[in-house]
Amino acid sequence: MYPETTKCVCGRDAKLEYDFVIEKYMGKTITIQNVPSYACESFHTKYARKTRLRIKELSREAFDCGLREIEYKD
């Protein structure tokens, strides 16, 4: 679904990793686990557009369910 590598804004190769993201939503802190992201050797982090949109949706879903942590899912 996600390619293993992509070009970073700095021109280096960025590799696919799965990490957590901490979001603020309606004054609450929500942690989203196993988010696909790309990181290069210069420590730049990049998310696909659909991933950024999904992070927002999952933050809302976690907030509505009263959760402080949620697993990333497409």
> 45-55 pLDDT, tens per residue?
999 999 999 99
- Long-range Cβ pairs for the range 71-74 (8 Å, 24+): 71/32, 71/33, 71/34, 72/18, 72/32, 72/33, 72/34, 72/35, 72/36, 74/1
Q: What is the CATH number of the domain that holds 66?
A: 3.10.20
Mean pLDDT of the chain: 96
Q: By residue range, what is the domain housing residue 40?
A: 5-71
Q: How confident is the model at residue 1 (pLDDT cuts 50, 70, 90)?
A: confident
Give the DSSP per-residue string, 24-52: EETTEEEEEEEEEEEE-TT--EE--HHHH
